[in-house]
Structures are given as C-alpha cells and as structure tokens.
C-alpha cells in the first residue's frame, strides 16, 4: 500500500451549513458537486475534501462503525483497479486492520472496501475509474456507470 491520502471525507450533519461555511464563508470554490448530496473541494495537489451527509457516509461504510472509535470522517486511498483494492485490503488486514466492509462494487460505480486502523481510524480503499489528477495536481471526478 503506497503512503497516500487522496480524499478526506467529512460526514456532516447539515450539508447546507457545511457548504455555507466552506464555500460562502471561506470562499473555497467547489471542484465538483451533486446538489444536496456531496461537495468536493480541492485542498492540495491531487487531494480533495468531500462534504458528505453523516448518515450517507455511515451508510456507505455499511453501518459498521466501531462504537467509541474516531467517528465522522474517512481517509481514502485510490488504486488502479479492483484487484489492487483486494490486495491493499489484504495487506491492511495482515498488518492488523479490522475489515469494516469487504471489497465490493461501490454505489458510485467503482469498487471499494473499508478498514479501520488499530485506533479505529477508517480508510476507504477505492478504485474509481472516474477519478483523475491533472498535471497541475487538480483532481477531477466524473460519474461512472454503476
């Protein structure tokens, strides 16, 4: 598993309030958004911050969040294909991670799994054929067929 974070997802109880804060308040321009669902902001070279409904995030995780662990956000690591998702999940499990969601097709059309590190921090291992990073570091996300 390469040492890389591609996406930080904040599970927010009120998406409109979060959007108001980051977009109108701080003046950050959305990279991509699906109204009422998710807002993506570029926060680094090849790095995105997603504002996503807290319940939607927990649903995407399969509702398996360990009680008492760090909650409300995930770090994502993108890889090039489904086989790599499985390999990285296996590597993480061998290193002592708890598997929260076995590798499987994802709602957005890609393929992913989730694990928790020993402290409970949650990582998504993801193949998203619609994710790319330009030479200037700008991530782009286009919808893929589910």
Q: Tokens 């570029």 correspond to what residue?
A: 42
The C-alpha atoms of residue 50 and residue 40 are separated, in whole angstroms, by 5
The C-alpha atoms of residue 91 and residue 77 are separated, in whole angstroms, by 13
* Three-state SS at 62: coil
Q: Which of 1, 61, 99, 144 binds a second copy (CB under 8 A)?
A: 1
Tell whether residue 8 is a contact of a second copy (CB under 8 A): yes
Q: Which stretch binds a second copy (CB under 8 A): 14-22, 56-64, 79-87, 101-109?
A: 14-22
Tell whether residue 21 is a contact of a second copy (CB under 8 A): yes
Q: How far is the CB of 145 from a second copy (least distance, A)?
A: 28
CA angle 139/140/144 to nearest 5° reads 135
- Residues between 23 and 52 that touch a second copy (CB under 8 A): 24-29, 41-47, 49
Q: How far is the CB of 146 from a second copy (least distance, A)?
A: 28
* Three-state SS at 12: strand
List CB contacts of 125: < 8 A, sequence separation 6 or more: 1, 76, 77, 79, 85, 88, 89, 92, 103, 112, 113, 114, 115
- Residues between 90 and 119 that touch a second copy (CB under 8 A): 91-92, 94-97, 117-119
Q: How far is the CB of 85 from a second copy (least distance, A)?
A: 15
Residues in contact with a second copy by CB under 8 A are 1, 3-6, 8, 10-14, 17-18, 20-22, 24-29, 41-47, 49, 54, 69-73, 75, 91-92, 94-97, 117-121, 137
């Amino acid at each position: 598993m390469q040492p890389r974070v591609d996406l930080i997802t904040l599970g927010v109880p009120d998406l409109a309030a979060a959007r108001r804060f980051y977009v109108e308040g701080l003046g950050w321009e959305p990279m991509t958004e699906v109204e009422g669902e998710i807002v993506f902001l570029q926060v680094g070279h090849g790095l995105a911050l997603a504002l996503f409904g807290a319940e939607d995030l927990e649903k995407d995780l399969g509702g398996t969040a360990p009680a008492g662990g760090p909650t409300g956000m995930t770090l994502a690591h993108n890889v090039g294909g489904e086989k790599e998702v499985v390999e990285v999940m296996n590597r993480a499990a061998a290193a002592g991670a708890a598997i929260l969601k076995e590798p499987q097709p994802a709602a957005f059309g890609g393929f992913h799994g989730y694990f928790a590190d020993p402290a409970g921090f949650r990582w998504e291992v993801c193949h998203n054929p619609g994710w790319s990073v330009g030479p200037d570091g700008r991530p782009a996300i286009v919808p893929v067929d589910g």
